[in-house]
Amino acid sequence: MAVCSVCGKGAHFGNNVSHSHRRTNHMWKSNIKRVRVKVNGGTQHAYVCTHCLRAGKVERA
């Protein structure tokens, strides 16, 4: 599973709880994209969440 290289955000785990209060496992996946970023004057691929992309925390190539 991909993890954001800026903030470390990844998948979250928990339970779905039905009306009768039965619990089943559930996984929430973060919105993570593979983008080209500038690193040390060159370009490189990195996994970055859309929250960090919109906030401008990474410089895209």
Q: Tell me which residue range forms the domain holding 42.
A: 12-55
pLDDT the model gives residue 61: 87
What span, in angstroms and rounded, lies between the C-alpha atoms of 29 and 27?
6
Question: Structure pTM?
Answer: 0.80
pLDDT score of 18: 98
Per-residue pLDDT at 1: 79
The confidence score (pLDDT) of residue 25 equals 98
For position 14, what pLDDT does the model report? 98
Residue 4 lies inside a defined structural domain of this protein? no
Task: Judge whether 48 lies within some domain.
Answer: yes
Average confidence (pLDDT) per 10 residues, the chain, 61 residues: 94 98 97 95 95 95 87
Strands (E), 1-61: 12-17, 23-28, 32-39, 42-49
Domain count, the chain: 1
